[in-house]
Structure 1
Amino acid sequence: MNRDSMVAVETISPSAPQTGGVAERYALALLGLADDARQADPGALDRIATDVEGLYSIYRDDAAFRAFIADPRRGAAQQQKMLSAIVQSAKIGDEVRKLVGVMIANRRLNLLPSVAVAFGAKLAERRGQQIAHVTTAFPLTDTQRAQIVARMTESGISGVKLAETLDPAILGGLIVRIGSRLYDNSLKSKLQRMQFAMKGAA
């Protein structure tokens, strides 16, 4: 798959990671490291982007890991042990591994998902991609992702990078936001519109 078209996943329940502030500074620092590394390794940016997405996919898919990241009672030594094992198993490179180490030392590991989202957003902006924020009640399959991108392309929206949010509260369907445009086809919204219509008819 072309790395420029990779899907950044932002899975999050009950609330999505927020970009900006400290998380954005970490993301910019990592982007700076990637730029420096490109002098000796032209493919460094793509490699680091893949590492960030790989680590985030583990966060997305593993509820126990999400709980571990969010638990403020975990000590730095325990966090380091857990993350070292995960990073080694996933074959994450030095740049992202060092970033995680700094975040643990600074007691900022809970910001890991936000840093990943911010990094993906900055990278997409640099590559001239539009970000489509897609919220669903259940994780998307690769086929569904391809269908969403295809529909956008048919509508004249190209170069899209998906950022997915998992929110069981919408019950079903999906919500897509691109810039100021919002397409709400969630089951929750449909039920609300039905409820309003029934009240109006009463």
Structure 2
Amino acid sequence: MDSREMPEPVSGHWPKRSSDAADHHPHVDLRPDGVTVRLPTPEVDWPSECDVTLARQISQAARELDVPADPAALQHLNVAVDALVIPEVLPFWRALLGDRDKGPEDLIDPHGHGPSLWFQQTDARRTGRNRLHVDVSVPHDQAEARIAAALAAGGRLVTDQNAPTWWALADAEGKEARVATWLGRD
């Protein structure tokens, strides 16, 4: 949303009425060229049902104010690190990133500015590919466009067997990334 198009008396208050009702408060980043509303849910690594409901309410409030949204600009970056023994690698990353912590397998930026790191348990050291991949979470209705753009830019589809939850893609050198949505999560 372009903050220059928001009515001034409402610009700081429109997300509040929905978030107060849900007791789930968004992070609002207000800049001259736009407003970004993030809905962090510390309990899970993907948007919760509460996040989706609140996002819809915020989007509706923006529409009522004639503030255009740009859902194609939405995303969340999560770096996934494959590890054989998570407790052996987690302390290194925690120290390196300034003592981020969420739990036994995740490192979250306490200020919500950078990506989180998620440590994925593996059963064998992988040799044919990288042991690190990037998860880019987007709205479910933007996933296919994002995948198409990555493929058009020289990427390739590694697998779509977990769609619509996530698709694995690779760049020209084989480094992997996943396009993920909130659909299909337990």
The answer to whether TM tops 0.5 is no
Q: When you count strand as a share of all residues, which structure comes out higher?
A: 2
Scaled to the shorter chain, the TM-score interval is under 0.3
TM-score of the pair, normalised by structure 1: 0.26
TM-score of the pair, normalised by structure 2: 0.28
Q: When you count helix as a share of all residues, which structure comes out higher?
A: 1
